[in-house]
Structure 1
Amino acid sequence: MPPPSLAAADDAVLAAATPWQPVALPYARERRTPSATPGDGTPPQVWWLRMQVPADALAPTPQGPRLYIPRWHTLGNAAVYVDGRLAWQSRGSQVLVSFNQPVWLDLGGDVRPGQPLTVHVRMAGAQDAGGALSSLWAGPAESLRASWRLRSLLQTDLLAYVRGANLVLGVLALAVWLARRRQGETGYLLFFLMSLSHVFATSFFLVDAEGFGLDDGWFAWLTLAGSLGASACAFLLLCRIQRQRYPRVARALLLYITIAALALLPVWSPPHGAMLPLLRLVQIPAALPLLGAAVVGAWRLRTWPQVLLAAMMLLLFPLWLHDLAMQSFRLSVEHIYATPYLYVGVIAMFLVSAFLRYQEAAHEAAQAHAVLAQRLAAQERELGLAHERLRAAEREQTLMHERQRLMREMHDGVGSSLMSALRLVQHGQAPVDVAQVLKECIDDLKISIDSLEPVDADLLALLAGLRFRLEQRLGEAGIALHWRTSDVPLLPWLDAQSALHVLRILQEVLTNIIKHSGATAITVGTGVQDSGVCVRVHDNGRPFAPPDAPPPGRRGLGNVRARAQALGGRCAWEPGAHGTAFVLWLPQHAPGRGTPATG
């Protein structure tokens, strides 16, 4: 530990006989592999630097005078004395010291108006460990603050910011990998591991006065393992981005890293503090495969991110040698360690390459989507043509069925009546009212035609057409027709075929009344009953109860029942004291269809 004052020092720093020699700052003592490390009981090697701060540099200002030291480095500790009093000292580890943190010392309490200040810097380190001290600046805070801020930014702050940003990106990549690990997206995991390794590898440059609370040997091993792990992850990730595989190289790299990490464990390896610069040589074999993959990828792909990445990897080695020379105090201590920032550039190029790879994949996906859209459009056109052909076939089939139905109705209705009348007339078997037969045939034909007229599911419109057709015939037969209809719901199922069934049922009932009942009045009414619609036809003729089985040659009543069943409805005759009521009940929705009898 440094003495609390120069007077308390045991090395005669204040003695008049102590030899001093002028040196120019920055000043360095060459580093050799030390024979001892701080804390092992061996006396440290101490050397002093003395300088005078002129009084004009200490003139009063609003913020006061400051002493600014950009960087110092030794394998031990450092202390600053102002007029013999201890004003600042390094703390924490004596191996992983805060060499990258600029010293910013307030001199306001030591200034005497018009008097200069004497500043001593004590550098204590292991034997042959060497050391270095940058230039010292003394003066108003207003004039030195910008240089101190810039030096702090370049040496520690910017590196900490970038390291934090890389770690955040790595955590995001880890989250993406966790969400897509079943799709084999290991590139995201490799990027996370590379970012995490970079955090450990650059921690050596961010040690502050308080340290990290970790043993020096284990901390040095973590930084070395982080650097080796970053190289391995970067190599594997670059292979995935370039879509190249080097299985033998990858296995050899992982084997080397494993052996090196195990061999350098602080449990059995020499003290790391004594050979920190030499440990950096272990990183060279781990970086060579990454350099080779970057150069081969740049030559093969010829894209600017790959070329720039290869250039950075080629630049890594001279910059790495530059930093190694700085650690060995062979270069000015005022230089900036460049390797951490080159790592940042490498990670940035990985991000750019991954982004371009993502763009390429997105472009391929867009092209595939366009091809699929074209195929889908072609299939839609084919389906449209097939649908049109199907609709045309359905129309043809509907027309064919309608023709067959009309032909069947005309054959069974008009044709049958005409043929029966013709046979009777030809054979003179019975007196025939030919005019009456022809009227019935015409009524049958008109009813068949009326069934083709659209009624829009309106039963009352259908009955109105029947009334128009039969009212004159009923009047000629001396029968009065009374209409007592009321509003009924629409019947969605009432198409042409169903309409013909309804008309045929009512035609048969009215014809039977005319021929057999002797009625003088008929009343037709409608109503709603049992979730359906009913049509009621009442005559004042002789009461009529239909037999259970129709007599031979008389199929009219059977046809009425069959047509009602085909409509999903039912019919009944209700004889009474003043005539007979025929009731036809029809469902309101989707009747079950049967096959009606004809005749």
Structure 2
Amino acid sequence: MLIRLLLLLRLAFLAALAASAALSGATPLVLSQAMSVNSSAAHFPEGAAAQAVRLPDDWTQSRPRYDGGAWYRVGFDLPGGAPSNEPMALYLARVCGALDVELNGQRNAAPATRNCQQPRWVSLPSPLLKAQGNVLDLRMQASALQRVASRHRVGALSELHIGRDSELAGEHASRLFRTVSGVQIVGASVLLVGCLVLLLYAFHRRETPLLHFGGLLVGWAVVSALAWWPDLPLDSKLVEVLVCSGFAVVAAFAVQFLLSHAGLRSRPISVGLALQLPLVPASLWWADPNRIFAIASAWHALFALEVFATMGLALVITWRRQRDDFVSTLLIVAGTAGVLLFELATQVQLLPAQRVPVLQYAMPLVFFAVGARLVRQFARTLRAAEESRASLENRVKEITADIERNFTQLSELRVEQVTEKERKRIAADLHDDLGAKLLTIVHTSESERISTLAREALEEMRLSVRGLTGKPVRLADALADWRAETVSRLGQANIEADWRGPTEEIEHLLPARAYVQTTRILREAVSNIIKHSGASHCKVRSSVGERDFGMLVQDNGKGIPMELDGKLDRGHGMSSMKHRAKQLQGQCLVESGPGYGTVIRLTLPL
């Protein structure tokens, strides 16, 4: 009876506080005091010793190591002193555990959820409400710190807000968006970006960082969903194991992404990360239930250490290889480190618990910054690849042109080889057949004229054969042969010959064909002087330049008649001389006038 009396006195005190707040016009009611009993009974244990607790109540402070049920009782009077026509509601900003609500001894339905960040909204039926002396009992079934993987899921109860629906709806909606809806939107965005990155990797299999970054985003979205999902049909311990295992997957993808992005590959690290994935759930599932938090905290510290070490290595590699990207990399690494350190500090109670899930918002911002940087680098790489492809195409065109040119040259060489072979055959036929017959005529003919003509024809044939099959001739030797023949022929015709050539040593070679054609041009010029000019003197000059050589043949004869003026190539073999010079890519010019003699200028390339 004494205990019950003390309980009623405390409830009266709480009701008085609530009434004073109502009289002062403070609506809705904010109840920050409650009587609490550790019990899992179906109703508030009336005979149990209750203690006063302040709200919000954090079980790590008020009942450490306690795992089970706890009842809270508060008393309140309605604002205004009478039930309102507008529906009334109970609003709890944070409840970490299963919640049951009783109003004035009648059970009232409360939304079930495992998400400790989700605010609770409980409608208070008007028929159950009284103007004064209302008793609100709340039973919460929650876990101790030792039995959960994160401090955020330890049993906790916030202040109680009682008021009209219209008064509480705004705050409830705001809290719901900050802690649930906003996290869901961000998580869905991360999942979408992760799927897009993986799809991009499917088209660019060599870009391994895309695979790891996409896996990181998808893994984070799944872990985030496990945190905000209202009521997973799974055992509480299994949920803790899944959440911690999800962080193992996220850490593995984060380490692999940082390594691959830095251009590093380590088989021992890959094997260690792969072995870590099954060890995390196994160590939690078969561990003592009272050691789950300790084991999970050790794993979380190891994950953070792995990520911090890899980020430091990535910074060093970026500084050495890509200093242009160092500042952006440093900012991203600093942001990631800051978020992780903040979360670790919250877990070990160096910082108070935040009203907003900082990790659920901050890490996606880091991911999006990394994604933007990857997109920029990928665009830059794609642009460089396009430039390389264009350069390669130009190079292929150049090589193709070289191949076609070489093929043309080979074809021409083949034609030249076939032509050379045919020339040799013709030369052999001329030498063996026609040469033998001409030589027979020279030695057997009784007519001196026939013998002379046969000897000249034999000499021309030998010259032609030499042009077909002969080797290049030193230009100095060719000039000597031409000089001897010209001076001899002019001397036999009683024409004084004046031959002058270069005095320096000549090293140029003259192709056999050029030698034969030049010989014939010179012979034709000398024959014209002997037969038609009536000259008594002939001057011959030869000169050699770097790329060509020239010959000048000038006589003091009567010149070419007037009737052939303008038509010098029609008589005296002029046409054949010019044609032969043109075949050798040279030129043969004739200058003449009646009484002034004739000048022939021959220029041929070397």
TM-score, length-scaled by structure 1: 0.51
Among residues 347, 355, 359, which one is paired with 1:339 in the alignment?
359
Instruction: Specify the alignment match of 1:279 in structure 2.
Output: 296
1:67 shift after superposition: 3.2
The residue that corresponds to 2:428 in the other structure is none
Q: Aligned in 2, Cα 1:206/1:80: closer, same or farther, shift over 3 Å?
A: farther
Quick check: 2:88–2:126 contact (8 Å CA) kept in 1?
A: no
Aligned pairs for 1:130-209 (under 5 A) are: 131-134=156-159, 136=161, 138-141=163-166, 144-173=168-197, 186-208=208-230
SS at match of 2:258: helix
Residue in structure 2 matching 1:213, options 209, 222, 233: 233
Could you tell me how far apart the structure 1 residues matched to 2:142 and 2:98 are? Answer: 6
Deviations 1:300-345 (A, max 9, x none): 425255223202221123331365368x9x8367x11212223323
Contact 1:204 1:220 in 2 (8 A): no
Aligned pair partner of 1:29 in 54, 57, 60: 57
C-alpha separation between the residues in 2 aligned to 1:339 and 1:294?
18
Matching residue of 1:54: 79
Please name the residue that 1:588 is paired with: none
Could you say if the C-alpha distance between residues 56 and 195 of structure 1 is closer, same or farther in structure 2, counting changes exceeding 3 Å?
farther
1:57-96 alignment, distance < 5 Å: 64-65=86-87, 67=89, 69=91, 71-79=93-101, 81=103, 85-91=106-112
Letter of the 1:241 partner, please give it.
H
Equivalence for 1:104 = 121
Corresponding residue number in structure 2 for 1:289: 306
Matches of 2:84 and 2:99 in 1, distance apart? Answer: 31
Tell me, what secondary structure is at the counterpart of 2:216? helix
Structure 1, gaps ≥5 residues long: 1-9, 39-43, 405-599
Does 1 or 2 have the higher relative contact order (CA < 8 Å, sep 6+)? 1
1:45 match: 70
Question: Offset of 1:140 from its aligned partner?
Answer: 4.8
Aligned to 1:308: 331
Alpha-carbon deviations, 1:480-504, whole Å to 9, x = none?
Answer: xxxxxxxxxxxxxxxxxxxxxxxxx
CA distance in 2 between partners of 1:140 and 1:76 (Å)? 23
RMSD of Structure 2 on Structure 1 (CA): 5.2
Aligned letter for 2:67? T
Query: Once the two structures are superposed, what CA deviation does each residue of 1:417-462 show, in whole Å capped at 9, x if it has no partner?
Result: xxxxxxxxxxxxxxxxxxxxxxxxxxxxxxxxxxxxxxxxxxxxxx
Deviations 1:208-227 (A, max 9, x none): 2xx21111111110011101
User: Which residue in 1 is equivalent to 2:599?
Assistant: none
Name 1:454's counterpart in structure 2. Answer: none
Aligned residues of 1:54 and 1:117 also touching (Cα < 8 A) = no
The verdict on how the C-alpha distance between 1:354 and 1:316 changes in structure 2, with shifts beyond 3 A counting, is same
Contact 2:77 2:131 in 1 (8 A): no
Aligned length: 388
Aligned sequence identity (%): 15
Letter in 2 for 1:226: G
Distance 1:58 1:288 in 2: 58
Contact 1:57 1:139 survives alignment (8 Å): no
Change (3 A) 1:324 1:78: farther
Contact 1:305 1:352 in 2 (8 A): no
- 8 Å CA contact 1:75, 1:124 repeated in 2: yes
Does the aligned pair in 2 maintain the 1:50–1:118 contact within 8 Å?
yes
- Structure with the largest fraction of helix: 2
CA distance in 1, matches of 2:129, 2:9: 26
Does the alignment pair 1:317 with 2:317?
Answer: no
State whether residues 200 and 210 of structure 2, in contact with CA within 8 Å, keep that contact through their aligned partners in structure 1.
yes
Could you tell me which of 273, 286, 289 is aligned with 1:270?
289
Unaligned runs of 5+ in 2: 18-30, 34-53, 145-153, 425-606
Matched, 1:348 2:368: yes
**1:291 Cα offset (Å):** 1.8
Q: Deviations over 1:171-226 (max 9, x none)?
A: 45555666776x6x654543454344324432443142xx2111111111001110
Which of 136, 148, 152 is matched with 1:120 structurally? 136
* Aligned-partner Cα distance in 1 for 2:143–2:172: 31
Q: 1:11 to 1:397 in 2, by over 3 A?
A: farther
Q: What is the distance in 1 between the residues matched to 2:348 and 2:75?
A: 26
**Alignment-mate amino acid for residue 220 of structure 2:** H
Q: Contact 1:316 / 1:339 at 8 angstroms: preserved in 2?
A: yes
- Structure 1 position 57, deviation (Å): 11
**Post-superposition shift, 1:121?**
5.2
SS at match of 1:331: coil
Q: Amino acid of the residue matched to residue 133 of structure 1?
A: S
Cα distance, 1:100 vs structure 2: 2.0
**3-state SS in 1 of match to 2:115:** coil
Letter in 2 for 1:166: V
